[in-house]
Structure 1
Amino acid sequence: MDYFTIIKDYLIEEMKNTDAFSGFIPALMTLVITVVLTMLTKVRKKREVKINFKRNSEVILENTEKSTMVGRENQDSTFDEISILVDRFLKVYTIHGISINQIYSFVDKEFDLKISDFKDKNSIINVLNAELLEWTAKTFGVQIEWMYGKTEKIFPSRYFYKRVVSFCKQVIALRDKVEFIQIIFIRESNLNYKSADEQPVGIIVEFCKEVNGSNLSLYYPITEYGDWSYWKSRYQLKSIVYLLEKVDEFNLSPVGIKLKKGSIDRIVSGKEFIQEIFNVNKTLYTWHPYDYTSNPRHYHSLEGDEYKELIDYIQNERYVYRLKEGLVVKSGESQ
């Protein structure tokens, strides 16, 4: 039954029950208002149903989109990690002059790699395993965590300060295993022990070894630098130069190059390959660290008035004896 039928029946009934329409007009107005309110109520309810349905649909759609986005983010994250692993694995080789199509013949034969394994990233992913990654990290002296993207530090931490004896012992032990070794001291400007200004001096260990018939040149940064203006740091740097050069059976004479402070900072951070910071094939050695440890009677001696104090320091620390005898330094003792 529609609203017009209800109104018609109501009006007929009122006309029968009233005299001369005395109550008809008020009744009619009441009925019209009631019907209008009823209609508005139903329209509002329908609108609320539509709005709620729309809101629920939007919530469902939003949740679906969020779930899809999370899934895509997880997929993207996994893809990024794999991409980083492949890129860093390849970079270890290419930065050392080994092209991508040479890797298969450079690594150990036990990995049974073929040149076709390196035609694209997907083929490389298929042959990368824990053993190959560990072999690469060990051969090139980089951190495997860096290849996995877990750290930005390529090289492990290496120190010399308060570790003079252990540092020299490591250099000498390495010398006996490789074809060639050289200790490079890096500085920003001319050194002056009388200056109070900071004067950073860093160290790089360069060496060449044979790997499966190929010569491989490597550069290990010492991940700290000494301040030449601080006497103890300077004396320990000089002690390293003296021990490696002056002690007869070691006979390793460090060389020196100049670099900007920013480059020195990048080297000691261990976050970049040395080859990315300066051209290792064209850089010339411009100063000689042994000038700072030479007897003042020699014409090339620098800071000769500190020579006697340096020798006393080396003797007091028993560096030569401990280095030759291979004494183990207990924790807490100066080295």
Structure 2
Amino acid sequence: MSITRKSFSLQQIIYRLIGAANQEARAALESEPDKPGRFPVQVRPDTRAFLEAYAKTWGGSIASVAGAILDGVAMTQMHGAEAAMRGTVERLSLLIEEHDLSYPAAAEILTRFGITLADLSSPDALRGKLTAPRLESIAQEFCVKYDWLAGKSSTMTSGELHMWYKAADKAAEILWTGKHSGEDVKLILVTGASSNLEAKTEDGLAARHMPHVLPVIERRRALPGGEFFTRYELWEEGRWSYWRARHYLKLVVFFAQKCHIHVIGYRIDDDAYDHLVAGKVLCGSLFKHRNVTWYPDDYVPYAGRPPAKDPQEWATIESSDDYHWTFRRFNEILSEMPTLSADQT
């Protein structure tokens, strides 16, 4: 009988040795947690020159610099992966809290990704389930960036590109599909508190003073037990002061109104708006208990009545050859729309 011998590369051997050493180090730390950390170290001349230079720059001793470097290496080797996965679990917990979900409700959402309530109650079990494909699926479900959830980036969200600008028909299809998927859909247009939405030109305006608008799609669905799962899909921001961007935003608002999707406008603190656009905050807590502060639907016709604001620009949009195809596509989508019940309108 022949014996198959498994061969290992040098890299695999090194990884195995490091793993064994890390395991032994953890065991030693548990058995002697208070063992003194002072011991003599002999280094090469170039290493000593390196340590002396850093000690001089930092204003510390050679021993403190060497200790910091060694501590960093040890922490990375002994706790790096564990710490990273612990951070991923914490970010998932943050998502659950930001969406105002109980853990049973969160388990209802995550069960189709193979994560149970028992997993959520045990960080060790949960860490074992958070593979890359699962994290990707969870990130998509909660409308956050995979790299953030996996601990590779500090950017939580980003606006999806090519969703409305010169693509109002695409936005209409997404809104229509969402409307009839069983979710309650809202179109939210977010802007900064200091934005001047009356600015119709960028002449003489510095970039920081140009009013920007961030479209956000809110999707809300009921869960067993009476809870709701609300997620926010960010689209790319646009400049309200740029006429073409403003036209396309108005077209999207017009379609949303036609298919009975609620359209609301939020003004938020300028710093909060910048953080939202940069993906540094999540919408859940930012939008909680927020009142409507402007009305995008004032800029489009409703129930046969002309727009309450700037009706002349809407007349220009309706008569422009640039948008004839868009209006035709809107009508095609609306003609496919099933009859709405009273509670959907």
Indicate how the Cα distance of structure 1 residues 132 and 229 shifts in structure 2: closer, same or farther if over 3 A, else same.
closer
Change in CA separation of 1:193 and 1:306 when aligned onto 2, cut-off 3 Å? farther
Q: Distance in 1 between matches of 2:74 and 2:98?
A: 36
Report the counterpart of residue 234 of structure 2 in structure 1.
Answer: 221
Is the 1:107–1:212 Cα contact (8 Å) retained in structure 2? no
Change (3 A) 1:306 1:111: closer
Q: What residue is the counterpart of 1:179 in the other structure?
A: 183
Structure 2 SS opposite 1:254: strand
Q: Distance in 2 between matches of 1:120 and 1:252?
A: 40
Asked whether the equivalents of residues 221 and 267 of structure 1 are also in contact (C-alpha less than 8 Å), the reply is no
8 Å CA contact 1:241–1:253 kept in 2: the answer is: no
Among 256, 261, 264, the residue aligned to 1:255: 264
In the alignment, structure 1 residue 201 sits paired with structure 2 residue 213: yes
RMSD: 3.4
Task: Identify the residue that residue 42 of structure 2 maps to in structure 1.
Answer: 58
Report the Cα offset of residue 155 of structure 1: 3.2
Which stretch shifts more, 261-270 or 298-307?
298-307
Of residues 64, 73, 81, the one that matches 1:70 is 73
Q: Hey, what's the Cα distance between the residues in 2 that align with 1:110 and 1:278? A: 27
Match of 2:316 among 283, 305, 309: 309
Q: Distance in 1 between matches of 2:321 and 2:296?
A: 17
* Closer, same or farther: CA 253–193 of 1 in aligned 2, 3 Å: farther
1:204 Cα deviation (Å)? 1.2
**Range with greater deviation from structure 2 (308-317 or 173-182):** 308-317
**Number of corresponding residues:** 263
Question: Per-residue CA shift, 1:41-96, capped at 9, x if unaligned?
Answer: xxxxxxxxxxxxxxx97228x89977775343333432331122111122121211
Determine the C-alpha separation between the residues in 1 that align with 2:88 and 2:95: 11
Unaligned runs of 5+ in 1: 1-55, 327-335
Deviation, structure 1 residue 206: 0.8
Report the equivalent of 1:233.
245
Deviation at 1:216, TM superposition (A): 1.0
3-state SS in 2 of match to 1:206: strand
Whole-Å Cα distance in 2 between the matches of residues 118 and 194 of structure 1? 51
Following the alignment from structure 1 to structure 2, what is the Cα–Cα distance between the partners of residues 203 and 314?
A: 25
Unaligned runs of 5+ residues in structure 2 are: 1-39, 49-65, 334-345
Looking at structure 2, the residues matched to 298 and 104 of structure 1 have their Cα atoms a distance apart, in angstroms, of: 47
- Cα-to-partner distance string for 1:129-159 (whole Å, 9 max, x where unaligned): 4564344234323333321112333335413
TM-score (norm 1): 0.66
Q: CA deviation at 1:238?
A: 1.2
Aligned residues with identical type, % of pairs = 21
- In structure 2, the residue matched to 1:162 is 166
**Structure whose alpha-carbon radius of gyration is higher:** 1
Rounded to whole Å, the distance in 2 between the matches of 1:286 and 1:202 is 14
When the two structures are superposed, what TM-score results if normalisation uses the length of structure 2?
Answer: 0.64
Structure 2 distance, partners of 1:146, 1:316, is 38
1:238 and 1:292 in contact (8 A); partners too = yes
Distance 1:140 1:294 in 2: 34
Q: CA deviation at 1:215?
A: 2.8
Which of residues 88, 93, 107 in structure 1 aligns to 2:91? 88
Matches of 2:137 and 2:121 in 1, distance apart?
A: 21
For the residues of structure 2 that align with 1:145 and 1:110, how far apart are their CA atoms?
A: 18
Q: Are 1:244 and 2:256 matched, yes or no?
A: yes
The corresponding residue for 1:277 is: 286
User: Aligned in 2, Cα 1:320/1:166: closer, same or farther, shift over 3 Å?
Assistant: same
Measure, in 2, the Cα distance between the counterparts of 1:109 and 1:68: 41
